[in-house]
Structure 1
Amino acid sequence: MIDLRPINASLGILVTALGTMMIVPAMVNLVHGDPNWIGFVASALVTVFIGAMLWLTGRQAEPGRLSIRQAFLLTSLAWIVLSAFGAIPFMLSRADLNFTRAYFEAMSGLTTTGATVLSDLEIVSPGVLMWRSLLQWYGGVGVIVVAIAILPALQIGGMQLFRTEFSEKTEKVLPRVGQIANGILGAYILLSLACAGAYFAAGMSTFDAVNHAMTTLATGGFSTRDASIGAYASPAIEYIAIAFMIAGALPMLLFLRAAGGDLRALARNTQVRLFLALVVLLTFASMAQQRLSGINSGEESFRYALFNITALITTTGYSATDYTHWGAASDALFFFVMFLGACTGSTAGGLKTFRLAIIGAVIVQHLKRLIYPNGVFRIRYGGTPIGDDVVASVMSFLFLYLLTFIAVAVALGVMGYDTLTALSAAVACLAGVGPALGATVGPAGHYGPLNDAALWLLSFAMLVGRLELFTVFVLLLPRFWRQ
Structure 2
Amino acid sequence: MIHFKAIAKVMGGLLMLLGLLMLPGIGFSFYYKSGDQMPLIYSAFVSIAMGGLLFFSFSKQDQNIRKREGYLIVALSWIFMSLFGMLPYLVSGTLTSLSDAIFETVSGLTTTGASVLNDIEALPKGILFWRSMTQWIGGLGIIVLTVAIFPLLGIGGIELFVAESPGPTSDKLHPRIRETAKRLWYVYVGLTLLCAGLFYVGGMDFFDAINHALTTLATGGFSTKNASMAFFDVPFIQYVAIIFMFLAGTNFTVIYFGLLGKFDKVWKSDEFKAYVLVVGLIIVGLSVPVFLTSGLGVEKAFRDTAFQVVSLLTTTGYVTADYTSYGHGLTILFFLLLFVGGCAGSTAGGIKFIRHLTFFKNTILEFKRIVHPRAVVPLKINNERVSGKIITHIMIFLLIYLMVFVVGSVVMSVVGYDMLTSFGAVATCLGNVGPAIGRVGPLDNFSFFDPFTKIFLSAIMLLGRLELFTVLVLFSPYFWRAN
| TM-score > 0.5 by shorter chain | yes
Distance in 1, Cα, partners of 2:217 & 2:6: 30
* Equivalent position of 2:115 in the other structure: 116
Distance in 2, Cα, partners of 1:300 & 1:385: 44
The reply to whether residue 203 of structure 1 matches residue 211 of structure 2 is no
Check whether the contact 2:113–2:221 (CA below 8 A) recurs between aligned residues: yes
The reply to whether residue 162 of structure 1 matches residue 170 of structure 2 is yes
**Alpha-carbon distance, 1:165 to partner:** 7.9
**Alpha-carbon distance, 1:282 to partner:** 1.0
- The residue identity in structure 2 corresponding to 1:100 is S
* Equivalent position of 2:475 in the other structure: 476
Deviations 1:377-404 (A, max 9, x none): 2111122221100100000000001001
Check whether the contact 1:5–1:59 (CA below 8 A) recurs between aligned residues: no
**Alpha-carbon distance, 1:453 to partner:** 0.9
Alignment of 1:443-482 (within 5 A): 443-482=442-481
Alignment of 1:124-143 (within 5 A): 124-142=123-141
Distance in 2, Cα, partners of 1:57 & 1:423: 46
**Alpha-carbon distance, 1:62 to partner:** 3.7
Alignment of 1:106-255 (within 5 A): 106-142=105-141, 145=144, 150=159, 153=162, 159-162=167-170, 164=172, 176-255=176-255
Distance in 2, Cα, partners of 1:253 & 1:381: 16
Distance in 2, Cα, partners of 1:343 & 1:470: 18
- The verdict on how the C-alpha distance between 1:106 and 1:214 changes in structure 2, with shifts beyond 3 A counting, is same
Distance in 2, Cα, partners of 1:141 & 1:325: 33
- The residue identity in structure 1 corresponding to 2:67 is I
Deviations 1:129-171 (A, max 9, x none): 101110011111316839x9658856987x354264868xxxx
Distance in 1, Cα, partners of 2:169 & 2:33: 51
Distance in 2, Cα, partners of 1:153 & 1:141: 13
Distance in 2, Cα, partners of 1:329 & 1:273: 28
TM-score (norm 2): 0.93
TM-score (norm 1): 0.93
- The residue identity in structure 2 corresponding to 1:60 is K
Alignment of 1:47-62 (within 5 A): 47-62=47-62
**Alpha-carbon distance, 1:57 to partner:** 3.0
Check whether the contact 1:39–1:92 (CA below 8 A) recurs between aligned residues: yes
Distance in 1, Cα, partners of 2:436 & 2:224: 18
- The verdict on how the C-alpha distance between 1:229 and 1:294 changes in structure 2, with shifts beyond 3 A counting, is closer
Check whether the contact 2:66–2:159 (CA below 8 A) recurs between aligned residues: no
**What is the number of residues matched between the two proteins?**
472
Q: Which moved more, 1:279-288 or 1:218-227?
A: 279-288
Distance in 2, Cα, partners of 1:118 & 1:166: 42
- The verdict on how the C-alpha distance between 1:143 and 1:353 changes in structure 2, with shifts beyond 3 A counting, is farther
Distance in 2, Cα, partners of 1:166 & 1:464: 29
**Alpha-carbon distance, 1:263 to partner:** 4.1
**Alpha-carbon distance, 1:477 to partner:** 1.6
* Equivalent position of 2:363 in the other structure: 363
Distance in 2, Cα, partners of 1:363 & 1:296: 40
**Alpha-carbon distance, 1:251 to partner:** 1.5
Q: Which moved more, 1:210-219 or 1:292-301?
A: 292-301
Distance in 1, Cα, partners of 2:143 & 2:37: 31
- The verdict on how the C-alpha distance between 1:367 and 1:476 changes in structure 2, with shifts beyond 3 A counting, is same
* Equivalent position of 1:173 in the other structure: none
Deviations 1:59-104 (A, max 9, x none): 22344x3111101101111111101100111111231332211111
* Equivalent position of 1:98 in the other structure: 97
Distance in 2, Cα, partners of 1:241 & 1:19: 29
**Alignment RMSD, CA only?**
2.2
- The residue identity in structure 2 corresponding to 1:423 is F
Check whether the contact 2:86–2:105 (CA below 8 A) recurs between aligned residues: yes
